[in-house]
Amino acid sequence: MATSINTYSVKKWDLGELFSGFDSPELQAAFDNVEEQVTSFEGVRDKLKADIDTKTFLEIVRASEETARIVNRVYAFAGLSFAEDTQNQEAQSLMGRVQQFVAEIQNRTLFFNLWWKDVDEENAKRLMNASGDYRYHLEEIRHFKPYTLSEAEEKVVNLKDVTGSRALINLYDAITNRYVFKLEVDGEVKELTRAQLQPYIQGPDATLRARAYQELYRVFGEDGTVLGQMYQTRARDWYNENILMRKFSSPMSVRNLSNDVPDEAVNVLLDVTKKNSRIFHRYFKLKAKQVGVKKLRRYDIYAPVAKSDKAFEFGEAARMVLESFSAFEPKVGELAQRVFDQDHLDSEVRKGKQGGAFCASINPENTPFVLMNYTGRARDVATLAHELGHAIHAMLASHHSTFTFHSSLPLAETASTFGEMMLTEKLLAEETDEAVRRDILFKQMDDAFATILRQVYFALFERQAHEMVQKNASTDELSAAYMENLKEQFGDSVELSEEFKWEWVSIPHIYHTPFYVYAYAFGQLLVFSLYQQFKAEGESFKPKYIKILSAGGSEAPEKILAEAGIDIRSAKFWQGGFDVLSRMVDELERM
């Protein structure tokens, strides 16, 4: 490993690899290029017959991959420019232009997917068998066959989404990303972004924690009616399109099918999690003692138990993460380092920049881009490991096509959470002080809460909310249902206060990608189980793990995991993940 890694510092990413700017000739050329390719693609319409020879068929699929590659670049440039500054008008208008452009070309090329879904089983098998790496992509399109509308209807849905649900989500982002939160700290009123408010929410000062949460939901609550209405519109649109027109059996099945995970497996995951909420109740009671209160307030969930809130220089964080990856497998560390060395990491905090963190994998040949808001807390170090884990996952699968290198959602959180586990492992290994070890275990339980219990209860809320909206529930009724959801989630272990009724309108995921959230729980529990295997098997586990990641999205998640001996329909498998957590709480209770 290069010795220079300690010199990494917080900075903005460089999108130059995609395009040099909004008025770059290459950007315009990309639009023109796609236009040309799509026009030529339209010419193949007549060749599409069920008995088409495999050579011609593959040429057509390859041509559509080429177009997808360019579109992905343009889309990513627009999306990433918008994320780095959501108030940038050039980025906003490029985003609008790209969305409109993509909807139009989707419409012009729609005939291929529609034809493909219609091909008889025998010929479809013949063509898929000859399609190599494209096979699973082609198979996946056919999964949607029973839910597909006529070409004319599909076109209307596509066009209407641009100015409908997608515009609504962009508006939600634009409104909520410009919120300013006022917090008095040491006698001075600070104006903060949501990312800057976060350290106070998770900080050591109990009064500040409460006031930061109150301010967060005061601001969201002030727009609560509008944001609630946006959610209702999103849920209605979801219902109208997917249940009414496409005839899916439930709002959540839509996501399950695009994840290619059986409804049965997701329901088992949700049920097993509900049954295990008691593990977290035990944990919160323990944490109350640690924090020195009789009963934990909702404000104190993420309270640090450590005496000092140590800040980490970014260079130090980068070193720890890269070293922990390399210790597991040198190649993994090298891949992560590429993200730094190519300036694909936007880590600094800026006003107007999108909050939170994400990793964007564009095409197999591009090193992924990572966005985060680094403020120097231990949690940010974990986020760095998490997002770089995503990047590694995409890079390990870069030998697949543009259509198949992306892992599907349920496996998408595997490398990221495993990355966090590797970091924790390193911290535990280097730490001899019992008190600090306890802190690390506490932090792991905090994270397990945030990724498992919390996300599953979001999914349960979404399931309920979509149903309620259908029955014309008001925003206040949804808020009341959300409070009930929290009561069940925390049992008698945590004291809730009134303003948390607005938490749901502050969760971008439930607007952006309904039912996305269970993928986090899926990923985390899966990783606990994989980690157990790693501990038990040592070196021989590594190739199996790398194989899971390298598969990307070239096969159904259920199949990829079955090869590693995992049955996602079995309650026992999911329970295994909770047993790991239960043992952690046991250990904490002993300490």
Nearer to Zn ion, 416 or 489 (CB): 416
Q: Does 402 bind Zn ion (CB under 5 A)?
A: no
Q: Give the binding range for Zn ion (CB under 5 A) out of 17-25, 245-253, 414-422, 438-446.
A: 414-422
198-206 CB contacts, 8 Å cutoff, 24+ apart? 198/375, 199/375, 199/377, 201/302, 202/302, 202/303, 202/304, 202/377, 202/379, 203/304, 203/309, 204/303, 204/304, 204/309, 206/291, 206/299, 206/300, 206/303
Nearer to Zn ion, 502 or 545 (CB): 545
Q: Give the binding range for Zn ion (CB under 5 A) out of 14-22, 239-247, 408-416, 572-580.
A: 408-416
Please, what is the minimum distance in Å from the beta carbon of residue 415 to Zn ion? 9
Strand bridging mode 296-297 / 494-495: parallel
> What is the radius of gyration, based on Cα positions, of the chain?
24
Nearer to Zn ion, 83 or 227 (CB): 83
Nearer to Zn ion, 359 or 473 (CB): 359
412: left (phi over 0), alpha (psi -120 to 50) or beta: alpha
Calpha distance 176→227 (Å, rounded): 9
Nearer to Zn ion, 215 or 420 (CB): 420
Nearer to Zn ion, 10 or 391 (CB): 391
Please, what is the minimum distance in Å from the beta carbon of residue 386 to Zn ion? 6
Query: Binding-site residue total for Zn ion (CB under 5 A)?
Result: 1
Strand bridging mode 188-192 / 345-346: unpaired
Nearer to Zn ion, 98 or 519 (CB): 519
Calpha distance 67→42 (Å, rounded): 12
Calpha distance 515→501 (Å, rounded): 20
Q: Give the binding range for Zn ion (CB under 5 A) out of 24-32, 104-112, 295-303, 410-418.
A: 410-418
Please, what is the minimum distance in Å from the beta carbon of residue 514 to Zn ion? 17
DSSP states of 81-137 as a string?
Answer: HHHH-TT-HHHHHHHHHHHHHHHHHHHHHHHHHHHHHHS-HHHHHHHHHT-GGGHHH
Query: What residues contact 489, with CB distance under 8 A and at least 6 apart?
Result: 277, 453, 454, 457
Cβ-proximal residue to Zn ion, closest one? 416
Nearer to Zn ion, 297 or 377 (CB): 377
Q: Comparing C-alpha atoms, which of 243, 245, 148 is closest to residue 467? A: 243
Please, what is the minimum distance in Å from the beta carbon of residue 359 to Zn ion? 7
Q: Give the binding range for Zn ion (CB under 5 A) out of 206-214, 241-249, 413-421, 462-470.
A: 413-421
Please, what is the minimum distance in Å from the beta carbon of residue 416 to Zn ion? 4
**Which residue in 165, 416, 489, 524 binds Zn ion (CB under 5 A)?**
416
Q: Give the binding range for Zn ion (CB under 5 A) out of 161-169, 257-265, 311-319, 412-420.
A: 412-420
Q: Footprint of Zn ion on this chain (CB under 5 A)?
A: 416
